[in-house]
Amino acid sequence: MKKPDNILFLCLLLLCFCSAWSIRKTSYDHFQLVYTWPNTFCLDRNVTCNKPVPQNFVIHGLWPADKSGKPLTHCYKTGSISSAISKYERQLAHSWPSLRTDLMNTNF
């Protein structure tokens, strides 16, 4: 893997660990790493997207899920996650950009 991919992998691994720690009282079996195609995202949702729109798949989210694949909801303890990945925000911004002009990449 290239160096940026290694950094991204480590950040995602750290995010998984922090997520697991913050929701450890809730039952989950795995994480779903979801990618999106930016042009389709912008067209389907009829939103104004930041320009230039990336021409490659980008991360949409990383969520814990149960055995059936249903994502867990109401996981509000994200403070530790945000602080844990804050020093990697620059590297993550390339693979996990904010597509919408009305939201930051930390708001969803």
Say if CB 62 and CB 101 are below 8 A apart: no
pTM of the prediction?
0.60
Taking the C-alpha atoms of residue 27 and residue 41, their distance in angstroms, rounded to an integer, is 30
pLDDT digits (tens, 9 = 90+) for 67-82: 877 776 666 555 556 6
Helix (H) or strand (E) holding 61: strand 58-65
- 101 pLDDT tier (thresholds 50, 70, 90): confident
Taking the C-alpha atoms of residue 95 and residue 91, their distance in angstroms, rounded to an integer, is 8
Beta bridge partners of 34: 61
pLDDT digits (tens, 9 = 90+) for 8-66: 666 666 665 555 545 455 667 788 888 999 999 988 877 889 999 999 999 888 878 88
Say if CB 95 and CB 8 are below 8 A apart: yes
